[in-house]
Structure 1
Amino acid sequence: MKRILYVLHSGVTGGTFLTNKDLMRNVQKDYEIYLLTAEYNDLKIYRYYENELKFIRRYPRHLNINVPVNDSDVDFHIWNAEEFHNSWFTFIYFDILTRFDIDIVHIRHLINHTFDLPQVAKKLGIHVMLSMHDFYFICPFYVLLDENQQYCAGKCSDNRENCYCPMNSLENINSKEIILQWRKNVLKMFSYVDYFVTTSKIVKKLFLDIYSDRSIINSENFRVIEHGRDFPKLDKNYFEIPSFKKPVKILCPANNLNAMKGSHLIKEMKRVDKDNLIEFHFLGNCFDDIEEYGIAHGTYERDDFYKKVAEIKPSFIGIFSIWPETFCHTLTEAWSCGIPAIGTNIGVIEDRIIKNNGGWIIDRDNPKTIFSLLEDIIKNEKYMEMVDNVSKISLKDTNAMAQEYIEIYELMLSE
């Protein structure tokens, strides 16, 4: 049985891990599966077998190869996004690929890694697939928001004012000052990749616009595979029909409800809501004091989503991101509950809502438009018509998603 190494940027939690777990669960019957994660202090290798993740080995970031030490006895090597290459990482990648006899490397993210892995793999004759989970390979500040928190489409302004930084460990760099060097090193790393995958045509087009060397990345070796999800069958209504009789409940779920997820838009909507038309509900970690503008229900696990929604019974799922998310699982979750979405006019959020006729769009630069939108929906009784549209949306399951990946894996192995 051929062996696949999946590569993640963090540990065994979070949205990217859960999506990757969905893939591993459906691929395990055809491939032997290993998982490499990168944390602040170490790299860890796991085996995924019979739906269980088993820890195998730890590689501390103290840059010693064979000397075991306690964490308290050592100064760890701090990851830096500008460190594109590192001999310790090269050695560790070589050790993992040869020790576990890997046939395919599928990179899901490289934050907390260097860019060495694809080159090491190719020198060993190992096939490489690279997934575009966000826009990290366009800019280290992977959400493409400038210093004014405006979408930049990867086009840097001439000033040197640093852009919106989405992650503490990236705060030591100025994205505009290193962007040319960044993309030069990314393109070199791309040259060792066999296939690229992302989740929408919009994201694919942006990468092809930024990277124009068609000998390295092109329409043939760059595929679009939407995420799949497995959902239970609905046995009741999870929504409440909106009316003028009481505030309209809008549920905003996200792991982190912060500026990227539209916390400032939410606050602005509520500030001008003099008639208390909207009642916001929040699921997830709240930032920027947005819990003062609605009802916070705390954090949640993926499997608890339906229970939480059933308790709240919102009329809409609100997705107010100000960056162009590459897929947006929240949209899929909303539709799986039979609930229409209200989303911002940017990227895949706008594209998926319009393409699937699954909700309404508001202008992220003019959040007040939500009030005229809600008035129109309620006054003209458009809500149940949209609910009917949502019920007809076909949602890909995880097995169908996995089969699309397996087709590329088999293609690589046959080359």
Structure 2
Amino acid sequence: MNRPIDIIIPVYRGLKDVQDCLNSVYEAKQQTPYELIVIDDSSPEPEVSAYLKEEAKKGLFTLLINEVNLGFVATVNRGMQLHEDRDVLLLNSDTIVANDWLDRIYAAAYADERIGTVTPFSNNATICSYPTFCQDNQLPSNTSLAHLDTLFASSNRGQAVDIPTGVGFCMYITRGCLEEVGYFDVDTFGKGYGEENDFCQRAIKAGWKNRFALDTFVQHTGNVSFGDEHNELKHGALGKLVKRHPHYERDVHLHIAEDPAKSARVAVWLASLLHSEQPIVVHVTHNRGGGTLRFVEELSKDIKQAAYSLMLMPSTQKPGYLVLTPVRVSNEGLTPQESEYSLYFEAQNQQRLLLSILKQLPLGAFHFHHMLGLPDWLMDVPKQLDLPWFIALHDFYFACDSISLTDRDDKFKGQSTEAVLLESGAALDDTPDRQQWRQRFTTLLDGATRCFAPSRDAACRLQYYFPKANIVTQYHQQARHFSSEFYPSPIQAKQENDTLNVIVVGALSRIKGADLLEKTALLCKQNNINVDFELIGYGYRDLITKGRSNLHVHGRYQESELLSLLESRKAEGKADLVWFTALWPETYSYTLSSAIEAKLPVLAPNVGAFSERLYGRPQSWIIPWTWTAEEAAELLNGISKEGSEFSQLDDLKSTIEPAKQDFAYQSNYMPLCKKPAIRPIAPQKLANWLQKTHPLLDGKPTFKQALRTHLLNTLYYLRSTPILRPIARCIPQQLQRRVKDRLSK
């Protein structure tokens, strides 16, 4: 190649981004000749303009300056017109490149005739995004940019697929395509968004191809120039695109449904496991989500600067299989997510295969969170791999098959927290079956480097059953809720016609107090006690509600909504107190965390984690867990009449001090793990690894996913037909987006 490529970088703002971008281009070593063209689009930040002028004096790039702000479209058009015999590569000023990135993009551009544009992978590039398709992503914690780009090059060398549109953060355009198709449409797309999509659609109509280079990765911050206005610009541009190219949305969605780059993404993920720059921690857990999954995610975040986290759990999509998958939490609640990055193993027949796969990974430790639904042989895996392991004691599953220390009649017959701490634990009716149950897990707990209990109460009860285990109290959420910043205001006495509004939260079973709540609400109704109850959640059966009692049931809620629900109730004057009705020793209670964060007064039982978590907190009271509905109604009646000044409350303060915390997951966890050696990338070894692991991927959409894709395809087809197109235009864009987003989830 004789002529250089013009790398065009339009700059508007963001000094640090610009510096990082330019430095990365300087440092990346290329065989392909290029000239760097930087255009200052009348930056509003003087330090940006000054930096560019100083750098240009060094002869590092050609600097063009717009005397007035032209916007992205006109600015890149100016750059593309500078040398009309050269190919161009448009590069956003908030990108970072690595290695021989340009050589690979250039090779993709000339791998075939009539290739007009080429776009690489990025973390923030819609249909070219990694690791999560069509979403903005952070770089994976176990791979630096240079290492990640090397994995793309090693796993997908020379591979590319067609796409309906390139993505403008980093888009190569051949001069032949430019000459035939023309430049970006400034008149239609103004300062930006949609211009490259329009160009690519015009290119397709002219017989050119838009290619997606699967062997190159460029980091992209995103939205530096437009800031908060980008959503409005994007929605406006979409309307213009659809008007000009009626099949654009359908073509894009068909591409998304077919997802031809999926195998390339998966190959890189598999390669990143084998060649992780961080040790990998495997979290063994159940698949029921809830507080256990929430903690897995929290711990993974705490250690993400030093470790990459995988979950090993029973598959929710393939019964009888185990799944090894990255730690993920859905946006709709705490439910385990099995994505394209999931390896499946038959639980009963592929023990050796799982072990052989794990042996090849740079593992640092195993962390057992639960064994519910998992085969017992998993407990021996860390020992076979010569790895340390930890245990998180989320409930009492290891001590009792009922999980909650309740008997066959769903009743807890143990002691209060105070009694347990004084007597160093207390046994329930210890049947031979329960002794045999515990024996299954004794070796696991006794051999663990540490067993983390989220409360003193839980630690003491479990230490009684496993006296040789190294059990320590380590509060979830970094014990942040002991802070005075979450202290509530006093409850005011109610006027004659006002009510005390009591909130109860959760999916209430018998042992979580559903019957106690119902009886108390009935008593308040029968005795004209001005106390109203709202259950944010639901009961294990239909509870007697308004009309016959003082109870309203809100129904199911998403975990992510709880804090805002409590705060809104408080702001509306509909939440004076949160009452925890548990009749068993809860080990932590994330629900309590939400009540504390909402700065609401709390009433809780003297069993489980409540006493120590509420120690010293104003407007928080501990009552005997054995209290009847009559006793609860009497107390709440007193609070309603006298507020926080009710004399009976003076004797209901917690006396259980929390455990001191001298361990932090962020700093103290990884030193307890094994530090495996970082492995150099050997092409043949990587190829063997990919060949071995690819068959373990599921790759098939669920029935629900397939149905949504079919419905979305049908809608796009109908929307693009000449007869229905005018009708579609009458439907508000916001409503159309809602339907599309709903079906796309």
Which residue in the other structure is 1:25 paired with?
Answer: 301
Deviation at 1:266? 0.5
Question: Could you tell me whether the CA contact under 8 Å between 1:107 and 1:131 is conserved in 2?
Answer: yes
Give the corresponding residue for 2:515.
264
- Measured after TM superposition, the shift of residue 136 of structure 1 is 0.5
Aligned residues: 352
- Rounded to whole Å, the distance in 2 between the matches of 1:193 and 1:355 is 33
Does residue 282 of structure 1 match 2:535?
Answer: yes
% identical aligned pairs: 18
SS of 2:447 mapped into structure 1 = coil
Give the 3-state SS of the residue equivalent to 1:413 in structure 2: coil
Note the C-alpha offset of 1:93: 4.8
Question: Residues 24 and 46 from structure 1, CA distance in 2 versus in 1: closer, same or farther, beyond 3 angstroms?
Answer: same
Of 330-339 and 31-40, more deviation after overlay is shown by: 31-40
The residue type equivalent to 2:562 in the other structure is F
Alpha-carbon contact 1:7-1:37 (below 8 Å) kept: yes
Select the structure with the greater relative contact order (CA < 8 A; seq sep ≥ 6).
1
- Residue in structure 1 matched with residue 451 of structure 2 by the alignment: 196
TM superposition shift of 1:197: 0.7
* Unmatched runs of 5 consecutive residues or more in structure 2: 1-277, 332-336, 415-425, 676-745
Distance 1:288-1:241 versus aligned 2 partners, 3 A rule: farther
Corresponding residue for residue 607 of structure 2: 346
Among 341, 349, 365, the residue aligned to 1:56: 341
* CA separation of 1:114 and 1:180: change in aligned 2, threshold 3 A: same
Tell me, yes or no, if structure 1 residue 157 matches structure 2 residue 426: no
Deviation (angstroms), 1:376: 3.8
The verdict on how the C-alpha distance between 1:291 and 1:46 changes in structure 2, with shifts beyond 3 A counting, is farther
Question: Residue 187 of structure 1 aligns with which residue?
Answer: 442
Match of 2:363, SS?
coil
CA separation in 2, counterparts of 1:93 and 1:107?
17
1:288 & 1:190 partners in 2: Cα distance? 36
Equivalent runs, 1:168-317 vs 2, <5 Å: 176=431, 178-212=433-467, 214=468, 217=469, 221-228=470-477, 241=492, 243-244=494-495, 245-254=497-506, 256-273=507-524, 274-290=527-543, 292=545, 293=549, 294-313=551-570, 314-317=575-578
- TM-score using structure 1 length: 0.74
Which residue does 1:10 correspond to in 2? 287
2:322/2:347 contact within 8 Å kept: no
Q: 1:249 Cα deviation (Å)?
A: 1.1
Change (3 A) 1:277 1:350: farther
**Equivalent residue, structure 2, for 1:361:** 622
Q: Which residue of 2 aligns with 1:113?
A: 374
C-alpha RMSD of matched pairs (Å): 3.6
Q: Which structure has more helix as a fraction of its residues?
A: 2
Shift of 1:96: 4.8
CA contact (8 A) 2:581 2:605 kept: yes
Q: Which residue of 2 aligns with 1:123?
A: 384
Contact preservation (8 Å) 1:259, 1:288: no
Counterpart of 1:277 in structure 2: which amino acid? N
CA offset at residue 291 of structure 1?
5.8
The offset of 1:113, in angstroms, is 1.0
Within the alignment, does 1:135 sit opposite 2:390 as a pair? Answer: no
Q: Which runs of 5+ in 1 are unaligned?
A: 66-87, 159-175
Write out per-residue CA displacement over residues 224-269 of structure 1, whole angstroms, 9 at most, x where no aligned residue: 11010789x999x999745153221111111x12212100110121
Return the index of the structure with the highest Cα Rg.
2
Shift of 1:379: 4.5
1:411 Cα deviation after fit: 2.8
CA gap 1:93/1:275 in 2 versus in 1, 3 angstroms: farther
Asked if the contact 1:306/1:337 (under 8 Å) is kept, the reply is yes
What amino acid is aligned across from residue 257 of structure 1 in structure 2? Answer: L
CA distance in 2 between counterparts of 1:39 and 1:260 reads 28
Change (3 A) 1:241 1:410: same
Write the distance in 2 (CA, Å) between the matches of 1:333 and 1:306: 5
CA contact (8 A) 1:121 1:127 kept: yes
Q: How far is the alpha carbon of 1:367 from its aligned partner?
A: 2.8
Please give the alpha-carbon distance, in whole angstroms, between the structure 2 residues aligned to 1:45 and 1:57: 6
Work out the CA distance in 1 between the residues paired with 2:674 and 2:409. Answer: 46
Alpha-carbon distance in structure 1 between the residues aligned to 2:328 and 2:407? 43
Q: Distance in 2 between matches of 1:350 and 1:50?
A: 30
Amino acid in structure 1 at the alignment position of 2:472: R
Counterpart residue type for residue 437 of structure 2: W
